[in-house]
Amino acid sequence: MSPEQEEQIRAFVKGKLQEADIAHGFDHIEYVVNMARKIALREGANLRIVIPAAYLHDVVSRGEVDSFHLHTDESAAVGKQFLEGLGFSPAEVQEIGNVIATSSYESYLKGVEPASLEAKVVRDADWLDSIGARGIARVFAFAGHYGCPEMGKVDRDPDNPEKLEMNILLIRKCLVSVSGMTILRKLSASFWLRLASKTNVRCNFLRCCECFGFYRLDAFRV
């Protein structure tokens, strides 16, 4: 893919996401593109497929569709239509659409799994933006944007919290590329080391996060 093609895709996506929630704004796209590029180079994936898909995977925001689970298919459709006039072959356009269609958490919930190496790279890159402090911040940003009416009860035992569906254990189980798993291990190990000091602030912060079910500390012992 030429620099000119990438810049056109970048400008198109940035313009489309002006009204997106900040958890899925253009900084998220840049994170996913950069991470996808890194994983693709390690895995030997086709960057001409990976990079457009990474840019376009959230091009239709969840607020533009009737139900969140539709946004991935809509993103694939809009992305394919845009790429058809940008010098990509029909086969490339179709493959990029397939990669987008398997990238999201909603796709996972529907049982749609990435088949190609390129699809695995993009899904891992997307999911890796859901861990650590940034991942926690994105949860609150997403909930606030879509009008979550309340925080919910926090009545769980912080020493034995309920294991929620969307947490680090799920992400670790569902990453599908070798490089994605390697990056997750490094990120989670680094996070554990940064929080290793036994201060009251650190302990209170971790207990609050555990109460909300974002992660269990033992998940970071990798």
Residue range 106-146, pLDDT digits in tens: 888 888 888 899 999 999 888 888 877 777 778 777 777 77
Query: What was the pLDDT predicted at 171?
Result: 60
Kindly report, residue by residue over 196-219, the tens digit of the pLDDT: 443 444 444 444 444 444 433 333
Domain spans of the chain, in order of start: 3-220
Whether this model's pTM surpasses 0.85: no
Q: In the 3-class helix/strand/coil scheme, how is 91-156 assigned residue by residue?
A: HHHHHHHHHHHCCCHHHHHCCCCCCCHHHHHHHHHHHHHHCHHHHHHHHHHHHHHCCCCCCCCCCC
Kindly report, residue by residue over 5-38, the tens digit of the pLDDT: 999 999 999 999 888 878 788 989 999 999 999 9
Pick 156 or 19 by higher pLDDT: 19
Query: What was the pLDDT predicted at 166?
Result: 46
Pick 119 or 182 by higher pLDDT: 119
Cα distance between residue 132 and residue 115, in whole Å: 27
* Domain at 3-220, CATH class: mainly alpha
Query: What was the pLDDT predicted at 21?
Result: 79
